[in-house]
Amino acid sequence: MTPVTDHEPAVPAPDTAPGTASETPSDSALTRGTARDPATLLRRLGRHVPFGTDRVLVGVVRLSRGYVERAGWCAAATGPVPAADLHAAVLACLAPLAPPRPAIPPTHAVAMVRCRRGRVVWLPTDDAWVSALAAEAGRHRLPVAETFLLTEHGWRCRTGAAAGSVPALTA
C-alpha cells in the first residue's frame, strides 16, 4: 500500500444534485469550522484527489475555513488487512500531509473517504480503516472532521444521517 499525495487539484467532482444530501445536517457531527454540508467537504476532497475503486483518501482540512489544504491516497486491499498494515498505510499517507507542529487548540482536522464497490453500508473492513485513521490522527493531535464511504451507488457519512447519490464511483 504505497501512499500517493497530490497537492495539485485533479478533475473536480460533480456538484451535488439538489435533494441528494441532507438539507439540515446535524451540528453534532461537525468539527468546529468544517463545512456545514458534508457533501461540500466530500466534493472538496474530490477536487484534490480523484475518487477511485479500492482507494482510501485522506485530507487535511483547515478548521477556520472548512477547506481542504492537502490530500493524498493509498491503495486499499479488497479483503481483510491486518491492523498493523492499516495503521502503517494511514500513517504513510497522513505524515506528509499533517501540519509540522500541532496547535492547541487544533487549527486542522483530517477527513477520510473509503472508496470501494458494493452497497453503501459500513462494513467491518471499513471500520478498521476508520479506527486506523482515528489512532494515527490522534498521534498528530488532529481531530477527525468526517469519514465517508463512497461506492458506485453513492456516499454516506460515518456520523450523522447525511448521504447522497452524487458523487459516486463509475460503474
pLDDT digits 0-9 by tens, 56-101? 999 999 998 888 999 999 998 877 889 999 999 999 999 999 988 8
Residue 1 pLDDT class (50, 70, 90 cuts): low
Q: Does CATH number 3.20.20.70 belong to domain 28-164?
A: no
Strands 144-151 and 108-115: parallel
For the chain, the structural domain boundaries read 28-164
Q: Are 38 and 25 in contact (CB under 8 A)?
A: yes
Q: Are 165 and 136 in contact (CB under 8 A)?
A: no
Which pLDDT score, from 0 to 100, does residue 51 have? 94
Q: How many C-beta atoms surround the C-beta of residue 37 within 10 A?
A: 18
Which pLDDT score, from 0 to 100, does residue 110 have? 96
